[in-house]
Structure 1
Amino acid sequence: MTRTLLHNLIKASAYIYLGWMPGCFFAMLSGYFSYWFIPVFIITCIALGYLYLSYFMKIWSKKLDQFAEHWQFAGKIRMITGTLLAIGLFWFGFLLPYLWTGNVDGLTTKIRQIPAKITWRYIGNFEAQEFHKAFKRAVAAVGDQPTVFLFFYRDYSYFSAEDKNKKGRYPSIYMHGNSRFSYGFDQSPDNEKVLFKAGEVSEAALDKVLQHLKKHYNLRQVLYIGIDKNRRWGLKGPDGLVHNEVMLDIRVVFNGGHRSLKYDGRTGDFLQEKVY
């Protein structure tokens, strides 16, 4: 009885393992794991694969005849139940990496966007719904800390804000879904005038920018949408005067970096287009 239970537990864990492998692989492709996880994943797959293969080969070599007889005479209900259970355990194993990293929503989004990818219509985070999700995640990660910039790319966000535990340090953070990684490169803002709070940017302003982009430009050609404070050289204000002040802007840079758009960071109003 104990041996049978142990054997069934090992079989169940094997199905979970078979789902866990492709789940981790696709999660890594989506950027939900850091680079250090790659060698850990490879070593774990090889080690567990060897252990499971050794165990089941040992069992099958001894009981191959009984296994064949059992498969032939087992009831259909038992066979269907076992198959459904195996499929369920496989999918549970597949979902484990996403549950672990808090990116189940990211997985459903990736699945939903498959038709757009295969028909060359994929814009990722530049969809209005996905952009707001990415913006809210970044704002939640930054909190009320002084921020250098918030950049939103098609598949990830990139931002720099003051470390909550170390004043004066501004690490660069990459965010894929709910997974955040810092690769040790710190920003050095020139002065406090270029810092802002994420709460200063309204979602209404971002909506206005996205609507303008969708109407007049091809979103598939956008490299990133960035929020930062810069000096507006030679731009006329509402009063008709030229201002060179540091202002909060939303910048849109296109692939290749040869064209960019600038919007007011608080209102979302279009300011200028530059072609380099």
Structure 2
Amino acid sequence: MTGLLALLLSVASPEPAIACSGEHRQGGVLVCRTAPGALVRLDEVDTRANDEGWVILGHDRDAPAETRLRVRVDGEWVFDARYDVAPAEYAIQRIDGLPPAMVSPPPEVLERIRAEGVRKGQAHASRWEGDGFLSGFIQPVEGRISSRFGGQRIYNGEPRTPHYGVDIAAPTGTPVLAPAGGIVRLADTDMYFEGGLIFIDHGQGFNSAYLHLSEVLVEEGDVVEQGQLIARVGSTGRSTGPHLCWRIRWHGRNVDPFATLDVQPSALR
């Protein structure tokens, strides 16, 4: 079963155990409604629905061809189904002319990079109990899409890890808006790779990131609303021109930010 899911039928009851909007595809996102407080297991990842039964799920860029979705209520598995995961095609992008120090950082900055990595890891581990994702998502900035999610990048001829974000080219100073409500878990103007950087947890560990910002207009701990001004586009950190790199991670999985634009929580109310 693939494509837009309007309803997933329970194997244990004539009533639906869980209903979802979204797609089972590599990098895909689903917003679902089930029993309040239910344990929802997508493959090996456990999460829990909120008090109204809402839960958000994500598939990794490299998700396998099949996924298993289960729901547990009051100690009993009430739903158990397997779905095909649609594959994605990823582009190869070559970026030449970067300063050598940005491709292979010099030894004197490695300690800084490690320390920043710890901070980013702590932010990714956030599990906010809010439900900002229920507003749906909007694109944080308008502009030309210069790089799509999942592509393999080759810097100065050296293959690197896949690009886990979407790059949106826009002039320096262009407003960056919160695509959905959430809590700011990291806000820094000078990260080594990312430059100006913001992390927002939209609920249940569904965390978005905004890179290369010229201005950071929020602070850690701020609760933001959809459409709120949070930053301005820049070309800070490892960047060859002004753009926003927008990324999303859910429980260690790298998710396509544009997949959030397809989910419709309102259809499940």
TM-score for the superposition, normalised by structure 2: 0.23
Larger Rg: 1
TM-score for the superposition, normalised by structure 1: 0.22
Higher strand share: 2
Higher helix share: 1
Greater relative contact order: 1 or 2 (C-alpha under 8 angstroms, separation 6 or more)?
Answer: 2
